[in-house]
Amino acid sequence: MKVVEYIEFGILYATVVLFIARYKQLDQPFKRLIFYLLNLALGNTLAFYLFACLHKENLWLFHFLTPMEYTALCIVFHGSLSNPLLRKAILLSLPCFITLCILLTRYVNKMDENDAVARIAEALLVTTWILFYFRELSTTEKILDIQRDPLFWVYTGLMIYFWGTLFLQGLLNYLNRLDRILANRLYTWQYVFEYTSLLTINMGLFCDRIFRRRVAG
């Protein structure tokens, strides 16, 4: 297990524990993030167990985790966006994305390959919904208190993470056929984007707590 993986697991589990500890005090849209965090924690733990403990290939697992991750994020997006058309579009995108993942696994990236194309499609969808949220945020009075909006910090981190995913997965899909060693080295950068995403979730928890203290005071 690499040092970067120890760091990732440490930040991830600490975030899950803090989130659960603060769960009752969180607003409803922010509460829904628990589905994403649990999917991330359980998925990463299972992937590590398969590869490090059982010494088995775990690439097939991500063909299931990617649609599960998008489903968890759709729950968050659906609760945070107020536009009825966007909320319907998010719900409609879910079965479409799952169907796309099945087709990609069947015809493009097999079960023993990295699901790069599905990850790219997920990144495009996720960044789209985040941009719509930022647009809503900019047209409401919330913009005056943007630093107090926990989801602003969460979505900023997710935007960085999925933009990085968009770039890396496209490059990895190409390099895996030419130089797997170089591809594995490049994948290390994925951890940087994951750290950023998890740390901004903690920023959201911190800002939510500080804001509530000030209101209570």
pLDDT tens digits, 183-216: 777 778 888 899 999 999 999 888 866 655 443 4
Check if the beta carbon of residue 173 is closer than 8 Å to that of residue 137.
no
Check if the beta carbon of residue 189 is closer than 8 Å to that of residue 174.
no
Q: How far is it, in rounded angstroms, from Cα 193 to Cα 201?
A: 13
Classify 108 as helix, strand or coil.
coil
pLDDT of residue 144: 54
Token pair listed for 196: 């950023």
Output Rg (C-alpha) for the chain, integer angstroms: 18
Q: How far is it, in rounded angstroms, from Cα 118 to Cα 63?
A: 8
Query: Is pLDDT of 142 > 60?
Result: no
Q: What is the pLDDT of residues 143-157, one digit of tens each?
A: 556 777 889 999 999
Mean pLDDT of 81-103: 97
Amino acid identity, position 31: K
Classify 139 as helix, strand or coil.
coil
For the entire predicted model, the pTM comes to 0.91
Which of these ranges, 70-74, 89-93, 105-109, 172-176, has the smallest mean pLDDT?
172-176
Please, how many CA atoms are within 13 Å of residue 170, restricted to the half-sphere of its CB? Answer: 11
Classify 83 as helix, strand or coil.
coil
Q: How far is it, in rounded angstroms, from Cα 79 to Cα 35?
A: 13
Share of the chain above pLDDT 90, in %: 59
Q: Give me the residue label for tokens 């088995």.
A: 56
Token pair listed for 84: 């009825």
- Domain-by-domain residue ranges, the chain? 3-216
